[in-house]
Amino acid sequence: MNMMPNTRTSAVAKQPPEAISPLKDAWIVYRRNKAAMLGTVLLAAIIALALFGTFLYQADPYEIVSAPETPPWTDSAAPLGTDYLGRDLGRGLLRGGGPTIAVGAAAALITLAIGISLGGIAGYFGGWVDDLLMRVTEFFQVLPALLFAMVVITLFSPTTMTTAIAIGLVLWPQTARLTRGEFLKIRELEYVMAARSIGARDGRIMWRVILPNALPPLIVSATLTVGVAILFQAGLSFLGLGDPNIMSWGLMIGTNRQYILDAWWPVTLPGVAIFLTVLAISLVGDGLNDAFNPKLRGR
């Protein structure tokens, strides 16, 4: 009887399992989240319709196509009905999606730029720099957000860019606090100390070593910020502080709010569009949170 061990079988059995990259692992967890995948599909469909309305559907959303307040599915010229002036709501929904989502995305980028810069500097250097920047953050945090955004837009012209900047200026404190906490936690880890010991400069350590490892919660925060910014933009347009020359869902609600008792659809349809967009973004944000946070993967 041959008692020699099968060295080939033993070598195969002792091989370590193939390592999975963090991004691939996060994608596997995210893909298993049915709510997150539903939100992804819904958000992709909304963005596709917005792009279609902005770049391919060139019909003027301000053009009067039928009688005022025509109900949905009663006129082939305006399948979704008309507003108080007789403008096609379908055109408005398609053409208004792009500016609405663009404002949300631009505001989120501004929020990230300010929040990561100030929060990263405060968390990395600490001391009086941290105290000073956190006092500035607290000052902006206690300001009434909507009122401050209204003041900024009133002082300047109510353009789409002004709206995005105003929203970004009122939403950055939360991102700054989150970034500060991540930098405070990561700056004491061994690989950061190793980078410091070999003579890496502070700027390289902050933005090339610490920031990439602090990105997962910041990505989740940025995703949710887009939804909050869209709600802000709708609220500002509802109050008449949006750009009247660019169609948006908030502008549609604001211009038709006086006639809601006579016709519900000019207000309800863009409201549903905003609701579905924010819901999709929230589902995606929750999915990213579960995927990047190992403590929540077993929920």
| pLDDT band, very low/low/confident/very high, at 76 (cuts 50, 70, 90) | confident
Q: Is the pLDDT of residue 165 over 80?
A: yes
Q: Is the pLDDT of residue 212 over 70?
A: yes
Average pLDDT, the chain: 85
Name the residue ranges covered by the structural domains of the chain.
27-59+84-296
Which of the four CATH numbers 1.10.3720.10, 3.30.230.20, 3.50.50.60, 3.40.50.300 does domain 27-59+84-296 have? 1.10.3720.10
Q: Is the pLDDT of residue 17 over 70?
A: no
Global confidence as pTM: 0.82
Distance CA 122, CA 128 (A): 9
The 10s digit of each residue's pLDDT in 35-62 is: 999 999 999 999 998 888 777 777 788 8
Q: Is the pLDDT of residue 10 over 70?
A: no
Distance CA 227, CA 39 (A): 12
Q: Tell me how far CA of residue 38 lies from CA of 23, 31, 157, 206, 281, in angstroms.
A: 20, 10, 38, 36, 10
Q: Is the pLDDT of residue 9 over 70?
A: no
Q: Is the pLDDT of residue 208 over 60?
A: yes
Choice between 242 and 284, residue whose per-residue pLDDT is larger: 284
| pLDDT band, very low/low/confident/very high, at 19 (cuts 50, 70, 90) | low
| pLDDT > 70 in the chain, percent | 90
| pLDDT band, very low/low/confident/very high, at 24 (cuts 50, 70, 90) | confident
pLDDT of residue 11: 45
Choice between 273 and 291, residue whose per-residue pLDDT is larger: 273
Q: How many CA atoms lie within 13 A of 168 on its CB side?
A: 22
